C-alpha cells in the first residue's frame, strides 16, 4: 500500500504515539480498485498455495518464526510507538508469536493428516482436511503481532491464503509482518495487507472469492461482520470482548495470590480481552485481599513505554482513555467506592492512573461493560456458589481464573463457569498448543492448538464401500 506523509487528507490509518499524542505518520486508505485487485490476487495465489506440499508450507512457517526472533528489537519498537506497549511486553508478545509459528510448523502436517473412520456398514472411510480459499482477517490493535499469528499461522499451514486488514492504529507493524512473510519465502500474494476502509469491509466479506472471515475486536464489530457473513453463507470466527472473573476461593499465600491478580489485571495496561477484570473474593478473606490488592495497584507508576522503569504504558488512544474515565465516573457517581486512582495521570499522553472500585452494582456501567484499561472491580461473595453466580452474571464468557489451595475444589468451580477457558491457580495467558476462545457474547470458534487449524478447512469424507 502507498504511504502518504504531510497530507491533509483524512486517513483511517495513522500512527499516533499514545504516550505523546503526536501523529507520526499517515498511510493512504485503499481505493475500491485496489480492494478488487487484492481479492483477485489472493484468489489466484490460493490455486498454487493449496497445491504446495504440507512440508513445504511448514518450512515457510519455521522461517517466519526465525525472522520474528531475529527482528525482535525493531518489531517491538514499532508497536511501542503505535499502541504504547512497554518494550519488555512487546518483546514478550513476539516470543509468543515465535512459538505459534513454530508450533504449526512442527505439528501442522500431523494435524492435517487424514482421519480414518470405521463405518458400521463396512468399507473404508476417511476425513481429509482441505483448504477452503482466501480468508479475510480483521485484526485489533492491542496485540498486533499475536492476534495475526494465531489467525495466519494455522490457516497458511492449512493451505488457505490471507487478506489482512489491520487496526487503523497499527499500519507500520502490519507492513512489517507482510515483509516477514515475503522474506520467509511465502508464495507471492498468499498473504496481503490491505488498508481497507470500514465501508469496504462488507463488500469484501460478501465477495464470492472470500471463503471466510475472522475478527478479533468489539461486540459491535463482531456482530456487524457476522451479519454480513451470515447473509452470504460464510464461515466466521469471532474473538470478541471479555469481562473475565478472577475468583479467590481461599489462599495459603495471600501475597502471592494478590501479586497474580495484579498481573492478571495489568498486562498491556489492562487492555486485553482475557484480562482479569472482576476480582471475586470469597468469605472473610475479602477485606485483607482488597487492602493488599489496592496497595499494590496504587504503587504502580505509568511511564514512557520505551522506558524499562515504567510499570505500564498509556492506553491506546485518547478516546480509549476517555471511555474508561467515563465508566469510572459513572460508577463513582452512582455510589461505588473508589479505593485508588480514578484520575488521568499528570503527564501528556493517554494515561490513566491504576484504579480499584468496590461496591459496584448492576445500576452501573462498570458492572456490565468491559473495562479496557488499568481499572479493576473487586466483589465480595459469601460462598463459592455466590461467586459462581456473580462470575456468570455477565453477557461475556471468554475466560476465567480460580485460585484455591485445594486444586480439586478449584476445578469443581471451574466446571460451573460459563466461559471458554479457565485457568487454575495461574493468571490467564495464552499458549500456542492450547485452544483460545469463548462463549456467549465473547464470540464463536477457537484459535490456537489443534482446534485452531480446523476452523477454516473442508472436512471432506471419502468413502469406499466394501466389495460385494
Say how many C-beta atoms besides its own lie within 10 A of residue 365's C-beta.
16
Q: Are 190 and 153 in contact (CB under 8 A)?
A: no
User: 261 and 372 share a domain?
Assistant: yes
User: 160 and 192 share a domain?
Assistant: yes
Quick check: is 3 in a domain?
no
Quick check: is 468 in a domain?
no
- 395-416 mean pLDDT: 97
Mean residue pLDDT across the chain: 96
Quick check: is 6 in a domain?
no
pLDDT digits (tens, 9 = 90+) for 357-378: 999 999 999 999 999 999 999 9
Catalytic site positions: 239, 273
CATH number of domain containing 148: 3.40.605.10
User: 394 and 254 share a domain?
Assistant: yes
User: 157 and 259 share a domain?
Assistant: no
How far is it, in rounded angstroms, from Cα 267 to Cα 262? Answer: 8
The pLDDT score that the predictor gives to residue 11 is: 77
β-pair partners for 248: 281, 403
Distance of CA 71 to the CA centre of its chain: 22
pLDDT at residue 77 greater than cutoff 90: yes
pLDDT digits (tens, 9 = 90+) for 232-287: 999 999 999 999 999 999 999 999 999 999 999 999 999 999 999 999 999 999 99
The number of folded domains in the chain is 2
How far is it, in rounded angstroms, from Cα 265 to Cα 278? Answer: 9
pLDDT at residue 9 greater than cutoff 60: no
Domain range for 394: 244-433
User: 84 and 212 share a domain?
Assistant: yes
User: 249 and 311 share a domain?
Assistant: yes
* Angle 147-148-153 from CA coordinates, rounded to 5°: 115
User: 403 and 276 share a domain?
Assistant: yes
Q: Are 30 and 195 in contact (CB under 8 A)?
A: yes
pLDDT at residue 3 greater than cutoff 90: no
pLDDT at residue 288 greater than cutoff 90: yes
- 302-317 mean pLDDT: 94
pLDDT digits (tens, 9 = 90+) for 171-209: 999 999 999 999 999 999 999 999 999 999 999 999 999
pLDDT digits (tens, 9 = 90+) for 18-56: 999 999 999 999 999 999 999 999 999 999 999 999 999
User: 230 and 196 share a domain?
Assistant: yes
pLDDT above 70 as % of the chain: 98
User: 399 and 457 share a domain?
Assistant: no
User: 290 and 224 share a domain?
Assistant: no
Quick check: is 149 in a domain?
yes
Quick check: is 1 in a domain?
no
How far is it, in rounded angstroms, from Cα 112 to Cα 130? Answer: 8
The pLDDT score that the predictor gives to residue 468 is: 85
How far is it, in rounded angstroms, from Cα 269 to Cα 4? Answer: 31
Say how many C-beta atoms besides its own lie within 10 A of residue 410's C-beta.
22
CATH number of domain containing 351: 3.40.309.10
The pLDDT score that the predictor gives to residue 7 is: 35
Quick check: is 467 in a domain?
no
The pLDDT score that the predictor gives to residue 5 is: 37
The pLDDT score that the predictor gives to residue 10 is: 64
User: 150 and 252 share a domain?
Assistant: no
- 64-85 mean pLDDT: 98
pLDDT at residue 424 greater than cutoff 80: yes
144-158 and 72-83 helices cross at what angle (nearest 10)? Answer: 120
**Residues 6+ away with beta carbon under 8 Å from 170:** 15, 79, 82, 83, 139, 141, 144
- Half-sphere exposure in the Cβ direction for 463 (13 Å, CA): 11
- Half-sphere exposure in the Cβ direction for 11 (13 Å, CA): 28
pLDDT at residue 157 greater than cutoff 60: yes
Quick check: is 5 in a domain?
no
Quick check: is 401 in a domain?
yes
Q: Which of 71, 75, 80 is CA-nearest to residue 15?
A: 80
User: 29 and 83 share a domain?
Assistant: yes
Amino acid at each position: 500500500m502507498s504511504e502518504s506523509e504531510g497530507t491533509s487528507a483524512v486517513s483511517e490509518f495513522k500512527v499516533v504515539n499514545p504516550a505523546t499524542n503526536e501523529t507520526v505518520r499517515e498511510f493512504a486508505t485503499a481505493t475500491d480498485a485496489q480492494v478488487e485487485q487484492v481479492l483477485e490476487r489472493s484468489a489466484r495465489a490460493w490455486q498454487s498455495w493449496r497445491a504446495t506440499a504440507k512440508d513445504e508450507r511448514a518450512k515457510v512457517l519455521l522461517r517466519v518464526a526465525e525472522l520474528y526472533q531475529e527482528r525482535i528489537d525493531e518489531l517491538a519498537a514499532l508497536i511501542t510507538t503505535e499502541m504504547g506497549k512497554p518494550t519488555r511486553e512487546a518483546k514478550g508478545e513476539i516470543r509468543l508469536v515465535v512459538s505459534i509459528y513454530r508450533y504449526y510448523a512442527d505439528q501442522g502436517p500431523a494435524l492435517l493428516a487424514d482421519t480414518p473412520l470405521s463405518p458400521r456398514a463396512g468399507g473404508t472411510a476417511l476425513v481429509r482436511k482441505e483448504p477452503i480459499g482466501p480468508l479475510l482477517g480483521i485484526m485489533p490493535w492491542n496485540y498486533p503481532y499475536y492476534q495475526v499469528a494465531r489467525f495466519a499461522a494455522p490457516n497458511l499451514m492449512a493451505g488457505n491464503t490471507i487478506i489482512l486488514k489491520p487496526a487503523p492504529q497499527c499500519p507500520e507493524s502490519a507492513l512489517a509482518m507482510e515483509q516477514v512473510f515475503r522474506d520467509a519465502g511465502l508464495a507471492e500474494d498468499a498473504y496481503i495487507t490491505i488498508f481497507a476502509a470500514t465501508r469496504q469491509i462488507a463488500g469484501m466479506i460478501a465477495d464470492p472469492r472470500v471463503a471466510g472471515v475472522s475478527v478479533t475486536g468489539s461486540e459491535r464489530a463482531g456482530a456487524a461482520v457476522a451479519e454480513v457473513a451470515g447473509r452470504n453463507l460464510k464461515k466466521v470466527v469471532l474473538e470478541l470482548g471479555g469481562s473475565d472473573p478472577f475468583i479467590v476461593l481461599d489462599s495459603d499465600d495471600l501475597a502471592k495470590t494478590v501479586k497474580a491478580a495484579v498481573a492478571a489485571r495489568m498486562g498491556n495496561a489492562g487492555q486485553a480481552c482475557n484480562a482479569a477484570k472482576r476480582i471475586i473474593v470469597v468469605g472473610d478473606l475479602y477485606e485483607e485481599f482488597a487492602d493488599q490488592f489496592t496497595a499494590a495497584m496504587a504503587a504502580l507508576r505509568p511511564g514512557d513505554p520505551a522506558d524499562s522503569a515504567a510499570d505500564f504504558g498509556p492506553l491506546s488512544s485518547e478516546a480509549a482513555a476517555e471511555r474508561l474515565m467515563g465508566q469510572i465516573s459513572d460508577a463513582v457517581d452512582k455510589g461505588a467506592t473508589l479505593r485508588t486512582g480514578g484520575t488521568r495521570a499528570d503527564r501528556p499522553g493517554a494515561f490513566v492512573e491504576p484504579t480499584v472500585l468496590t461496591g459496584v452494582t448492576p445500576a452501573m456501567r462498570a458492572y456490565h461493560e468491559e473495562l479496557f484499561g488499568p481499572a479493576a472491580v473487586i466483589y465480595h461473595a459469601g460462598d463459592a456458589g455466590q461467586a459462581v453466580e456473580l462470575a456468570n452474571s455477565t453477557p461475556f464468557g471468554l475466560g476465567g481464573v480460580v485460585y484455591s489451595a485445594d486444586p480439586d475444589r478449584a476445578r469443581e468451580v471451574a466446571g460451573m463457569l460459563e466461559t471458554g477457558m479457565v485457568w487454575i491457580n495461574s493468571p490467564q495467558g495464552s499458549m500456542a498448543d492450547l485452544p483460545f476462545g469463548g462463549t456467549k457474547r465473547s464470540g464463536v470458534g477457537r484459535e490456537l492448538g489443534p482446534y485452531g487449524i480446523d476452523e477454516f478447512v473442508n472436512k471432506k469424507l471419502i468413502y469406499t464401500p466394501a466389495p460385494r
